[in-house]
A and B are shown apart, each in its own frame.
Chain A
Amino acid sequence: MSVICPNCEHENLDGALFCGQCGAKLVSGGVSTAAVKRTHDIDSTKPVSAPLPPPPPATEAFISLHVVRTGQILPLVGRNEFTIGRVSEGQSILPDIDLTPYEAYSQGVSRLHTTIKRKDNGEIVITDLGSSNGTRVNNEKIPAHTELILNHGDVISIGQFKLQALIRQD
């Protein structure tokens, strides 16, 4: 009866409190330690010969999110697509970026609210996932399930929670 990490799928012994591979918390209750979570990390426990997902193109973040209220900067590293939302109990699909530590619930953040994705052509797009309170870019509400190109400095409102997009200029 081992515990599979919801974040990186690493197999931990029953009773483990934190994932030995990625450090994600495996038990409910207590303080949230991770603001950024990944759901599709490469599983290091699999042998190298097994088919792996495509390797991350760059270790540097293609985009960072600036939390306007706290000044904190969250670089998005390792993949090309990130889901933003909040973790609540009994949820099977977890967002990559959990805004729970920022009082996400009272700010109107849905569980799976928005995704940010880098496309093959290098464009960075944002998509609202049909959230209850919607996503705004520079105060303009964007239609659900529709891709919109993000530019450096754009302010994204997820519910009432504001993030500024800092895009690396290659």
Chain B
Amino acid sequence: MSEHAVITKGLTKFYGDTPVVRHLDLQIPKGCVYGLLGRNGAGKSTTIKMLTGMIVPDAGEATLLGEDAREMSPATRARIAYVAEGHPLYRLMTINQLEKFTRSFYENWNTDLFDQIIDHFQLSRKRRVWRMSRGQRAQIALALAIAPDPELLILDDPTLGLDTVVRRDMLESLIQLIQKEGRTILFSSHILGDVERVADRIGIMVDGVLRVDAPTDHFKQQVQRVVLTFDKTPPPLPQQDGAPMYGILSDVVIGYRRELTIIGLTDERQQMLKSLNPRVIDIIDLNLEDAFIEYTRGERRPLPLLSGIEKTSKSVAPVTSSTS
């Protein structure tokens, strides 16, 4: 039996002529909490929908809990919970009706757990969904997803549009879930603070390409800001192997200072920067949000690929100018 809950090989999707997801190779180990990040239109939701069989890929394959996502059997689907973006629920139903309807499809429906969550969020069972706030709908969607006791939980931007308190409540529910051994969670999110708190591994998609697939801490360690202060106008950056220095995500000159955001600040690169003879070199660690922003913002440009495979190596991840 596979040790991975999710495996994709060369997963690709086009909308018209536009590639939305390109050659996605992803492996999520069982028990892992995986945060899928990316800006709007990066391909996160399309990826998740391909995983759940809602979108037909143009190429490649996806396997969930050992079964092809396109041909998933009802038994396997019962082991996977999926909360789609926007928490779609039947608006005319009450919570009681929703529970009754959803429960009828599952053999392992945990009524006590469902009741606990509904009581915890203080939701009125006779209230219809259309009369509820977005946050309350999110809470119901989460309760309905958890009650069948799934092995794999897929959440597409579960905290989108929720206020801070509801977000925190949902996050705590997620953490409780995570504590159950063996459960795998894949979620996409725009709230980097949430991801940092929950995910033990992240993937960052840029223009449909999975650019980063690494443990959360590893990614944060790899992206650093270097501030070089000079006594005069900063000189140009040194060349590396006859090309512009690798791994530079941003380069801003302000007066006598040059601020660089670098992915993979190796000893070699530090020496190269020292060769510019700055008066002071400050190396600043970034939090996940800052690291993500630096990694993904700006115009489309070649970005370094970062894979967690190299996490044990002292050298930085391979850097390439290829966009695919």
Tell me whether A and B are bound partners.
Answer: no
Task: Tell me the B residues contacting A by CB distance below 8 Å.
Answer: none
